[in-house]
Amino acid sequence: MNGATTSGELRAHNRVRLLRAVHDCGATRTRSQLTRELGLARGTASVLVAGLAEDGLLHEEPAPGHTRGRPTQVPGPHPRGPVALAVDVREDAWELAACELGGRVTVLDVRPHDGTPEGTLGPLGEAIAGHGRRLGARVAGVGVALAGPIRHGGLVDIAHLGWRSVDVPALLGSLGTPLVVGNDTALAALAEARRGRLRGVRVGVHLHVDFDLGGVLVLDGHAVAGASGAGAEFGHMRIGGSERRCPCGAIGCWGMDVGANALLRHVGLAYGGGRGRQQAEQVLATSEEAVLAAARALGRGVAALVNAHDPEVVTLSGHGVELRERAGEALLAACEPGLMAIRRDCPPRIEASALGWRGSLLGAMESVFDGLLTPEGLEAWRKNHPDQARDTPDRQSVTHSTLDGESAP
């Protein structure tokens, strides 16, 4: 039940449903397909699309390859419609992108940083503000993914960089638009649930491997955030019997044995502080011993999570994809003995992410559009853009986007 009790509320509900369907399918389905999938009358769908076009939210284009008869229309993002600014802040660099309804990503800026809160977030805030001024009222919000637990909406701890209770909104400065700050693994899991291997999965586990390892339980498409918002920290469970102290303060964290830092340590190279990405990638490519050790450690932890949560699917992103590709048999061989007997009869699938390294960035985008794609969000957009799209843009204005940067799938 949608809770709508008046014709106006029902219309607002259906506007959200239609925009959400366009966004989730990547703006690939025709109006006829969307009408059938949403159970709408054709006349209702036509009125909804016309209203959303007038509000500068949708624009229709003929379906690719259509040659005969009345052209089949595909609803997609309006060329002057809402844009989510999405950021993936890794331990050594950040990436800033503009994302349109439907999920098209245009990379605007990629920069290394010095690992300090001020040296990382200060220049990032300036870059966001600069692109925000250029894009103007199109910016629906900013989503930022960070490689550490997030508390109280914006305080981040990144153990390997020595960040403790860093106030992310304060260091980014005044952006003049809604800001969502999230953990990179939780946001990667959100993207995987919307656009990847966890789509339609009721219970899943997502593991993201970068310098360290993060993991989160995914229920009905949502990452479990925890009481304070600082979930997605499976990497800090004590698995494997190690006595090494993790920079987080705990002893024997699973993530100490999986990820770029573990690979570097295994071959005797310096690690920590968000440095050594290229060297770690070289180790992945050349050291079978280091890769096998990391894959086995990953498999042992996966077994514990499967026993605890009974997921349908376990997905791996970041270096987890490479570990599965290069040492999948070792990963599974390490996982199997740790499974309860009842789990061995029908173990969950362990799959590589469909989104690669882009999951955290796409999750940051989704966090912004989740705020827009509500009746309240669309009404606020309409009120703030009263003259947004009274004219119908021609094909040239759609093809030549006003976004700058390198487009990415």
7-77 CATH choice from 3.30.565.10, 1.10.10.10, 2.40.50.140, 2.60.40.420: 1.10.10.10
User: Could you tell me if 109 and 95 are in contact, meaning their C-beta atoms sit under 8 angstroms apart?
Assistant: yes
Asked if residue 129 has pLDDT above 70, the reply is: yes
CA dist 233 and 350 (Å) reads: 19
Tell me, what's the pLDDT at 243? 87
Q: What digits encode the pLDDT tens for the residues 148-175?
A: 999 987 999 998 899 999 999 999 999 9
Q: What digits encode the pLDDT tens for the residues 69-87?
A: 566 899 999 999 999 999 9
CA dist 45 and 367 (Å) reads: 26
Q: What digits encode the pLDDT tens for the residues 29-40?
A: 999 999 999 999
- Residue 148 burial (CB < 10 Å; 0-12/13-18/19+)? buried
- What does DSSP say about strands 349-352 and 313-318: parallel, antiparallel, or unpaired? parallel
Helix boundaries (H) for 136-274: 168-172, 184-195, 260-266
Q: What digits encode the pLDDT tens for the residues 226-281?
A: 888 888 899 999 988 788 899 999 999 999 999 999 999 999 999 989 999 999 99
Query: Average of pLDDT values for 80-101?
Result: 97
- Residue 380 burial (CB < 10 Å; 0-12/13-18/19+)? middle
200-353 CATH choice from 3.30.1490.190, 3.30.420.40, 3.10.105.10, 3.30.70.20: 3.30.420.40
Q: How many helices (H) and strands (E) does the chain have?
A: 14, 16
Query: Average of pLDDT values for 92-115?
Result: 97
Residue closest to 217 by CA, chosen among 250, 183, 248: 183
CATH, range 83-187+358-408: 3.30.420.40
Tell me, what's the pLDDT at 5? 76
For the entire predicted model, the pTM comes to: 0.92
User: Could you write out the DSSP letters of every residue in 204-219?
Assistant: EEEEEESSSEEEEEEE
CA dist 96 and 127 (Å) reads: 8
Tell me, what's the pLDDT at 404? 78
